[in-house]
Amino acid sequence: MKTTIKLLFVLVALSLSFSSQAQKAKKVKTFAGIITYDITYDGDEIDETTKAQLPTQIVVSMSGNKVRNEQVSAFYSMASISDLEKGSAIILIDAMGMKIAVNQTKEDIEKNKAEADLTDPTIKFVDESKVIAGYKCKKAEVTQGEDIIEVYYTDEIAVPAGMNDNNGFKGINGMLMQYTVVQQGLTMTMTVKEVKKAKVKGGLFVIPDDYEVKTMEELGGMFGG
């Protein structure tokens, strides 16, 4: 159980880091609908019992310049919501009997960026491609610190400017279709399973009434930060 809670804390930190780099987006006609990723895990610190409690999918809902990334397991649910036009973000956590929301303003995000001293990744575009979920995808190698990550993306799905900055892939112009994130020994590989064009309800991009709003500092104290 302690290992499972530790992994939840890691995923909370990961979701916060995804939203902490949001940038102001241009108003362009972008994809509207739902994109579902399958998740696979690797890491020496994770046993099979713990893996079984982690989410197996991420559901990305997009409408205009708003993007919601949600992952659900039997143990918890978590969503990160970015308003790329305003530069703000929301984290929603439903775990251990608590429903918590963190509302980050543009000013909060800029402060977090400055404190983290983040650097842009180095991207090498590779002359390789493959088809994922029916879309032709191009390959890129993204260097983040000492890690080199293979990314497949498609420019057949229009995304708002700044969207890929959120998860450390600034410079990739298109929808990420397969990519890997490494956090404290946990490797998560996301691969798109389904792309569905649809109108997305606006209620997905706001804080539900039954969530308690906390600051990032309060959340960090609750989760050992």
CATH number for position 192: 2.50.20.10
Whether residue 15 has pLDDT greater than 60: no
Q: What is the model's pLDDT at position 38? A: 95
Q: Where are the beta strands (DSSP E) in the chain?
A: 33-42, 57-63, 66-72, 76-83, 88-95, 98-104, 122-132, 135-144, 147-154, 175-183, 186-197, 212-214
The predicted pLDDT at position 11 comes to: 53
The per-residue pLDDT for 36 is 97
- Give the range of the structural domain holding residue 195, as residue numbers without chain letter: 2-222
pLDDT at 155: 94
Number of separate domains in the chain: 1
Decide which of 44 and 217 is more confident: 217
pLDDT tens profile 59-101: 999 999 999 999 988 788 899 999 988 888 999 999 888 999 9
Residue 184 has pLDDT above 50, yes or no: yes
pLDDT band of residue 4 (cuts 50, 70, 90) is very low
